[in-house]
Chains A and B, each alone.
Chain A
């Protein structure tokens, strides 16, 4: 049994523990213990992975566990990780850990809340460690469905509408993915032999070009919906705005990364020729998304909407980087996913804490909060600076890598797209600094705010864990970058084979 099985077993045990718990307090502590163990195993996994690589283990995927599940259909329960998935697992464990602390205040049906939250986390973990398309898809849907309950029951505002919209749009995306996966399955053995869902085996085959061209749009759009690709991003702002704090964190921090990861791991990896031929369409959409999201954020007055649009912009940047098809940009894409995942989780955690104290999310009703809650204020500034790409934080490393990589494509089309996308950095600075200015500085607008208390211990746990992640990557990005680069080998190899002349 490989260490990866832990990432399924721990959430399942935690859920059982939660269901058996008697009191509210016990539910929370079981969740904390479970997710702390999960975080520890994630850290352990990263260390083990680095040790294996240092010891010279150059296998494409490590910690493999392969059990036959459905024999005649050749469905396997096949787990394994490379550098990219290890990084994503680390991100997920960190965000979920912080999310548990950020939802300490849940009073209504806590047992059901934490069960759904951890079920969602289990789906995400399962998705990242699966190497079989069938189980990957299974975990993908498992991660989406709890969102309906989480937003619908514990959300705010037009929660019923947002929950329904989000679920239907994401499941619509997953319907496209399902078609793509089945299509890949029936083309997985072009030279004859047994059909397979095995991602690694399929990647060794060359799927016929016409099949690729037919399937690629379905897979890319399907995963793109979850990655908030323009114009399929509309579920995201509404969903964020209505979701409770921890759900927004997981949703923007982790769930949206499933989309980017899927585009990278399934669509581009398995269908490289089609990606080359059709990539330009999605590159245009991604570029629009980057700018549109950033401009959208400028216009919003609700803190959650600001960050939701900012997430749209940042996630579009991930797709943008993936579609540049070169190693540097790909590396940047993965870095951006990690960086944005932690950063946006921090943002949403802080917004939740601020809302819990001020009972408003409209920035023009707030002001001078730095005076009454210095801890949260400083944390907000840090998140903002990371978001606009200040050196020293993770955002800078990621965006810098992406734009350097993107600029390596010398033709006019890619250059123009890069320039347009890069200009979003300026817009980001506008909305981040504007919010920081209005929200934290200046006079206290409402006397009710005078009595606000600063962060409590569980708030601090959540915030500190996330800030630690941001600065760790910002200050020492090389280990992460190396780890990701190691995982990019096979996909770059395939892309080069598909279209020589790239770098």
Chain B
């Protein structure tokens, strides 16, 4: 049973929270916050203990050192989100449904864990659905707000559509190979037209989840409408898990048609980075801004996937880890400011440094890390991604991506400019953020500073990764 340790632990705390929730009166719901965070922290720590790799359900579920690492990464991210969301959950309109937030979030995390551990397309699909549907409920969490409800509906519709497309692709794979197991499917992939079509459908479905251009249209609207903490969850955890399993399936199932999908990815990468960046430049609302920035970042991750080597997968995982800390830092600041003042636009941040220097610094570091400025972790992440792509000889692609880092630096600097350079008659007033927010942001900053210097993290990831050859 220890093979399924991560999932079981999460299920246990979900059940505990559910039971506690039943006995808590409506006015006392906030008492669940601290136990939830502590339990999540305990799960995160327990996840790091060495586990036994193995296979369950006749190969439908497989646990390896790699999947354990990926789950640990997701756990860390969720823990930070738990901590960051306290300030928001304590607001009056959310007080009565605090535990729902935790329950829904945990069930999606369980889904993601199963998805990452899947050894079979059916298990993969179940995990994917479990990871998707509760998020739609979360997006509509503030249901009295029109935009939040709209976000929920948009998310569920696009998810349903993409799941349908994906499922259609999977059925074709079953049709051509007669099996759903990854290990059995892989040798039977020959690149026959129907299989290529199946792959395209599968790819389109995943592209929705990772929000790659041209399947990105839902992203900005959903991020804008959803509560900040849910948007940050969507942008790092959901996306991270989807990227992980996408990479694993590409490398283990579709390696025989690598030539085909790397050409496809080549185009999609350029499109995603460029479109994400060009749209991010024009945004005024910070949530939309971060939505497009995260689309562009997903494009950068593709550079690692296209690398096809052990180095490629390493850089994907490593960058995802870095990205979790950087993006959560940025979202954390946007979240606390939105909670306290309701302001979400870039020009509302004018002169923020003079009134809230610490928050501005965290925001600045996060944006610099996203832009890939040393000595923050984002620099290392991007450098390695470029190295992975260049290893395959994709120098032109790297050059295009590099030009795009300059564009991205431009719009990240626009926010920094507002905070540090601009002066304002009515800056956001000085406020004291609560302890939870501080711890959450501090964890992000620590991550951004340490991950780059601590090369051992990279080596651990490298040793567990694998490539096509």
CB-CB under 8 A from B157, the residues of chain A are none
Please tell me which one of the listed residues B379, B395, B405 contacts residue A175 in the complex, with CB atoms under 8 A apart: B405
Query: Which B residues are CB-close (under 8 A) to A200?
Result: none
Known contacts A138-B379, A141-B374, A153-B421; decide if A171 and B387 are in contact (CB<8 Å): no
Contact B387 A168 (CB under 8 A): no
Give residues of chain A (132-169) contacting chain B, Cβ–Cβ below 8 Å. 134, 137-139, 141-142, 145, 148-149, 152-153, 159-160, 163-164, 167-168
- Complex Cα distance, B396 from A63, in Å, reads 39
Choose from B375, B398, B417, B455 the contact partner of A164 (Cβ within 8 Å): B417
Knowing A153-B420, A153-B421, say if A71 contacts B390 (CB, 8 Å).
no
Is B406 an interface residue when CB atoms closer than 8 A count as contact? yes
Question: A172 in the interface, Cβ–Cβ < 8 Å?
Answer: yes
Check if B383 sits within 8 Å of A171, measured CB to CB: no
- Report the bound CA distance from A484 to B212 in whole Å: 53
- Chain B residues with CB below 8 A from A160, complex form: 417, 421
Does B199 sit at the interface, judged by CB under 8 A? no
Q: In the assembled complex, which residues on chain B have CB atoms less than 8 Å from the CB atom of A185?
A: 387
State which size class the interface on B falls in.
20 to 34
Segment 407-464 of B: residues with Cβ below 8 Å from A: 409-410, 413, 416-417, 420-421, 455, 458-459, 462
B313 to chain A, nearest CB (A): 13
Most chain B beta carbons < 10 A, residue from A159, A176, A178:
A178
B141 at the A interface (CB under 8 A): no
CB-based contact A72/B459 at 8 Å = yes
User: Given that A71-B455, A72-B462, A152-B420 are contacting pairs, would A141 and B373 also be in contact in the complex, using a CB cutoff of 8 Å?
Assistant: yes
Considering only residues 384-400 of chain B, those with a C-beta below 8 Å from chain A are 384, 386-387, 390-391, 395, 398-399
Report chain B residues within 8 Å CB of A182.
386-387, 390, 398
> What A residues does B455 contact at CB under 8 A?
69-71, 75
Q: Which residues of A contact B379 (CB under 8 A)?
A: 138, 141
Report whether A149 and B420 are in contact in the complex, using a CB–CB cutoff of 8 Å: yes
Chain A facing B: main interface SS: helix
Name the CB-closest residue of A to B452.
Answer: A138
Contact B391 A186 (CB under 8 A): yes
B383, chain A: closest CB distance, angstroms: 7
Q: Is the CB of A167 within 8 A of B413?
A: yes
Whether, in the assembled complex, B403 has its beta carbon less than 8 Å from a beta carbon of chain A, the answer is yes
Question: Nearest chain B CB to A359's CB is how many angstroms away?
Answer: 21
Q: B368 an interface residue at 8 Å Cβ cutoff?
A: yes
Tell me what chain B mostly uses at the interface: helix, strand, loop, or mixed.
Answer: helix
Task: Answer whether A178 and B383 are a contact pair too, CB < 8 Å, given A72-B459, A160-B417, A167-B409.
Answer: yes
Given contacts A70-B455, A160-B421, contact A178 B374 (CB under 8 A): no
Question: Does B402 touch A at the CB level, under 8 Å?
Answer: yes
- Are A186 and B390 interface neighbours, CB within 8 A? yes
- Chain A: interface size category: 20 to 34
Query: With an 8 A cutoff between CB atoms, is A179 at the interface?
Result: yes
Complex CA–CA separation, A142 to B458 (angstroms): 22
A171 touches B375 (CB 8 A): no
Question: Are the CB atoms of A183 and B387 closer together than 8 Å?
Answer: no
| Contact pick for A172, options B375, B386, B406, B413, CB 8 Å | B406
**Given A69-B455, A70-B455, A179-B398: A138 touches B413 (CB 8 Å cut-off):** no
Pair A73/B402 contact, Cβ less than 8 Å? no
Name 24 interchain pairs, CB-CB below 8 A, sorted by A.
A70-B455, A72-B462, A138-B374, A142-B374, A142-B375, A145-B373, A148-B416, A149-B421, A152-B417, A152-B420, A152-B421, A160-B421, A164-B410, A167-B409, A168-B409, A171-B406, A171-B409, A175-B399, A178-B386, A178-B402, A179-B386, A183-B390, A183-B395, A186-B391
User: CB within 8 Å of B: which residues of A?
Assistant: 69-73, 75, 134, 137-139, 141-142, 145, 148-149, 152-153, 159-160, 163-164, 167-168, 171-172, 175-176, 178-179, 182-183, 185-186, 214
Supplied contacts A72-B458, A73-B387, A163-B421, 14 more A-B pairs, CB within 8 Å:
A70-B459, A73-B384, A139-B374, A141-B373, A141-B374, A159-B421, A160-B417, A164-B410, A172-B406, A175-B402, A175-B403, A179-B386, A179-B399, A183-B390
Which 8 pairs from chain A and chain B are nearest by CB?
Answer: A175-B402, A152-B421, A138-B374, A182-B390, A70-B455, A72-B462, A172-B406, A141-B374
B→A interface (CB under 8 Å): 311, 368, 373-375, 379, 383-384, 386-387, 390-391, 395, 398-399, 402-403, 405-406, 409-410, 413, 416-417, 420-421, 455, 458-459, 462
